[in-house]
Amino acid sequence: MNRQSHAGLTYRWIVLSICCLSFSCPTSIAQTVEGGWQGVLGGNLPLVFHLAAGGAGTVDSPSQNAFGMPMKYTLSASHINASIPSVGATYAGTVNGNQMTGTFTQRGQDFPLALSKASASQGSADSKNFQGTWTGTLGGNLPLVFHIAAGGVGTADSSSQNATNMPLKYTNTDTQITISIPSVGATYAGTLSGSQMSGTFSQHGQNIPLTLTKQ
């Protein structure tokens, strides 16, 4: 089991079972939270919440190669409260449009966690901005190519390692993307600016800057 530490806090595999104190939310708020939400915990642990109708959903922790884990949630007005029994953690947040801000608490330590709502559908304009072929060089000597398709999927190539067509998954907001490559236990979290993406490639606990250019 891989572990990552931040300020003495050990992050274990995230298995979320979100429970609220009460349920009394108008339909408009419920419609607002449905969809994908992504953020980074402690500066190096990407998390993605997939909130569905009826208080159910799944969660991904890409850097820990954990996907599709069941979750439950309820709302009180614009507030969401989450408990994570398997890791002794909680999350309390406030929904404001496409942003969710709150506090992730584990073993008596509090960490801010902001989540941004991802594309509502594969055909949305912000998703199309990421679609295409992106090239970059990792660590100064390892060329990488990301082929990003619609629907949150794509492939990655590392030609110098004779590795091609490695499946990838991604979620995105208007300007941010989180990519996971499960077969090699790697993730990429980047920010879009025109025809470039700048961000961090993470694998085996190491974080390496990576800039990609759209072809």
DSSP secondary structure, 99-151, as one string = EEEEEEEETTEEEEEEEEE--SSTTSHHHHTT-EEEEEEETTTEEEEEEE-GG
**For position 146, what pLDDT does the model report?**
96
**For position 129, what pLDDT does the model report?**
87
**For position 88, what pLDDT does the model report?**
74
Q: What is the mean pLDDT of residues 70-80?
A: 81
**For position 178, what pLDDT does the model report?**
86
**pLDDT tens digits, one per residue of 164-197:** 888 888 888 778 888 888 888 888 888 899 999 9
136 and 189, same domain (yes or no): yes
- Best-predicted range by mean pLDDT among 7-11, 42-46, 140-144? 140-144
**For position 195, what pLDDT does the model report?**
93
Q: Measuring CA to CA, which residue among 42, 18, 49 is closest to residue 171?
A: 49
Q: Are strands 163-172 and 176-181 parallel, antiparallel or unpaired?
A: antiparallel
Instruction: Return phi, psi of residue 68, to 5°.
Output: 65, 30
Residue ranges making up the domain that contains 112:
4-117
76 and 174, same domain (yes or no): no
Q: Is the pLDDT of residue 121 over 50?
A: no
Domain ends where: 72, 98, 117? 117
Q: Domain holding 24: CATH number?
A: 2.40.128
130 and 103, same domain (yes or no): no
Q: What is the mean pLDDT of residues 45-67?
A: 71
**For position 153, what pLDDT does the model report?**
83
**For position 168, what pLDDT does the model report?**
87
49 and 97, same domain (yes or no): yes
- Distance, in Å, from the CA atom of 172 to the CA atom of 31, rounded to the nearest integer, reads 19
13 and 82, same domain (yes or no): yes
Q: Are 176 and 126 in contact (CB under 8 A)?
A: no
Q: Which residue has the higher pLDDT, 163 or 13?
A: 163
110 and 179, same domain (yes or no): no
**For position 27, what pLDDT does the model report?**
41
Q: Is the pLDDT of residue 25 over 80?
A: no
**pLDDT tens digits, one per residue of 122-167:** 434 467 889 899 999 999 899 999 999 877 888 999 999 999 888 8
Domain ends where: 117, 149, 166? 117
Structure tokens at 109: 């330590």
Domain ends where: 77, 93, 117? 117
Q: How many domains does the chain have?
A: 2
Whole-model pTM: value is 0.53
Q: Is the pLDDT of residue 30 over 90?
A: no
H helix or E strand, kind and range, residue 27: helix 27-33
Local confidence band at 73 (pLDDT 50, 70, 90 cut-offs): confident
DSSP-assigned letter for residue 31: H
Q: Domain holding 155: CATH number?
A: 2.40.128.20
Q: Measuring CA to CA, which residue among 88, 72, 86, 91 is closest to residue 18?
A: 72
160 and 66, same domain (yes or no): no
Q: Which residue has the higher pLDDT, 85 or 155?
A: 155
15 and 107, same domain (yes or no): yes
